Structure 1
């Protein structure tokens, strides 16, 4: 099979290298959409190519060749080095499908559990204040979702910062950020090379919520200070109530990774992000190349099977 067939297996490497610059330089909402769609497209294309490679190897099995009327001699002549690639493709396809299905089931279960827990919270107000002395604040997906804030977090912030905190959490809830995070994680499970994209999406949804709060308050510095103070309060306190696996909060999913909060604070203290045209053009070219390569792989396999009928 032609070299272009294997490009969807290699292009995720370029996407992984570009995930960081895209998450930092693009407007967060656009970056979230772009990275999520790119992750799904790259994962689907690479999985499709693995399936095509496995199918190309399947026709080499004598029983299958006899049932479908393929000529083993013609198959070997047209693609003499196909066995190793086909075997590797079959193994990787099985692993990719298993990992994606497993993670999708886990994320669906986590979202469902969070939705049930949100429905069981007392009262009907979207914001629920708990008695936990630890500092925590997060959004639980559901119909409707709920915003959970502890007394410890409220005590650590002043009234103006309370409004910023709630604006951040409402952005998570109104824009369904948990769906972007879940889809990016499923794509990364299908193709581990896409894990940097999933990490970048977890970061950009927080930046999206930060920018939403900054627009609502008109004070980027105040939002930066709120994020920093919430992080310090959470680090110094111990929470009694566990945070649901599907929840998103002002500090991200569960505890933030190293350097995430400082990067968010620095971004808020800088001018609002723009969308460099070159990055958008390169991203569009990468997605187009992925789609064309997957189509070329399908066309190549079709021609390969047509020739296999020749005797």
Structure 2
């Protein structure tokens, strides 16, 4: 258990380093699914081993030994984790659980608010055009979700751009991109080392929607030009960019410097292809994480059985 219990705490750092190459080089739909699944698995594994460390320290408390019938001599001799590691595991586990619960509550509230907002928007169609002075377009998830576009954004684009814009936003709704973003944010709350992975998913869902619009229109260059024009229009907008909770816009939830140029460059390049070596490396990392977490849990189980039998 000594080695296996610590490796899942280090693997998220490797995943954070590899998140951006995966996001850039894999097909966006596959990259989104892979990064989301990886984030959840890595967060669950790291949280599990923190719990194992905390439990390993807990069984060394004399009162617990007496209540559970553990043999103190066996516990001392078969020490599965040093006191500092066990204490650190307990502290980190507490922070991870509190952060994850807090983020989950916030995201649930944001999704509920978004559903109410979508239901209260005027009209009955899926697209709502507002009179706001700013240039903005975003998707509000709900039952059903709605697409909100301002007159400022429509004025900045030509009719072909309008169709590309709506195709992009429909992809966000149809494929539930807000769920991928929420799940990776939850994983990053439980393990801050996974924040680069959550940021990468924020990029891949936009690339997924870009590629959807490119397939729908059959013109990758036109989609690239529309994304660029939308970014310029939003930059010169008179209103500050503040999307409702859980909404996704054509420029992303929180655009980072260089994000739009990366999307434009990807659209001007040939369609992305899957990379077997990257997929194999990601699969190996996730398999190693799972095996180490399971081995650590099994070792601790065997230790507790041995301590109780003696």
TM-score by structure 2 length?
0.98
The question of 1:152 aligning with 2:176 is answered no
Q: CA RMSD in A?
A: 1.2
Distance in 2, Cα, partners of 1:81 & 1:136: 54
How much has 1:151 moved relative to structure 2? Answer: 0.2
How much has 1:5 moved relative to structure 2? Answer: 1.7
Match of 1:189 in 2: 189
Aligned ranges 1:21-32 → 2 under 5 Å? 21-32=21-32
Match of 2:67 in 1: 67
Distance in 1, Cα, partners of 2:241 & 2:62: 60
Match of 2:212 in 1: 212
Q: Contact 1:74–1:310 (CA<8 Å) still a contact in 2?
A: no
Match of 2:267 in 1: 268
Distance in 2, Cα, partners of 1:229 & 1:240: 17
How much has 1:72 moved relative to structure 2? Answer: 1.9
Match of 2:300 in 1: 301
Distance in 2, Cα, partners of 1:263 & 1:89: 39
Distance in 2, Cα, partners of 1:240 & 1:99: 29
How much has 1:269 moved relative to structure 2? Answer: 0.4
User: Unaligned stretches of 5+ in structure 1?
Assistant: none
- Which stretch of the first structure deviates more once superposed, 255-264 or 224-233? 255-264
Match of 2:170 in 1: 170
Q: Contact 2:2–2:80 (CA<8 Å) still a contact in 1?
A: no
Aligned ranges 1:42-57 → 2 under 5 Å? 42-57=42-57
Q: CA offsets, 1:243-294, max 9 Å, x none?
A: 20210010000x4111100000000000000001000111111111111011
Q: Contact 1:110–1:246 (CA<8 Å) still a contact in 2?
A: yes
How much has 1:223 moved relative to structure 2? Answer: 0.3
Q: Contact 1:136–1:239 (CA<8 Å) still a contact in 2?
A: no
How much has 1:236 moved relative to structure 2? Answer: 0.3
Query: What's the secondary structure of 1:4's corresponding residue?
Result: coil
Query: What's the secondary structure of 2:255's corresponding residue?
Result: coil
Query: What's the secondary structure of 2:4's corresponding residue?
Result: helix
Q: Contact 2:40–2:184 (CA<8 Å) still a contact in 1?
A: yes
Q: Contact 2:130–2:151 (CA<8 Å) still a contact in 1?
A: yes
Q: Contact 1:132–1:240 (CA<8 Å) still a contact in 2?
A: no
Where in structure 1 do 4 or more consecutive aligned residues deviate above 6 Å? none
Distance in 1, Cα, partners of 2:49 & 2:290: 11
Provide the aligned length of Structure 1 versus Structure 2: 310
TM-score by structure 1 length?
0.97
Distance in 2, Cα, partners of 1:80 & 1:43: 22
User: Unaligned stretches of 5+ in structure 2?
Assistant: none
Aligned ranges 1:242-253 → 2 under 5 Å? 242-253=242-253
Distance in 2, Cα, partners of 1:30 & 1:81: 39
Query: What's the secondary structure of 1:282's corresponding residue?
Result: helix
The 3 A distance-change label for structure 1 pair 58 and 216 is same
Query: What's the secondary structure of 1:5's corresponding residue?
Result: coil
Match of 2:228 in 1: 228
Distance in 2, Cα, partners of 1:38 & 1:310: 38
Distance in 2, Cα, partners of 1:58 & 1:67: 12
Match of 1:289 in 2: 288
How much has 1:80 moved relative to structure 2? Answer: 7.4
How much has 1:75 moved relative to structure 2? Answer: 1.0
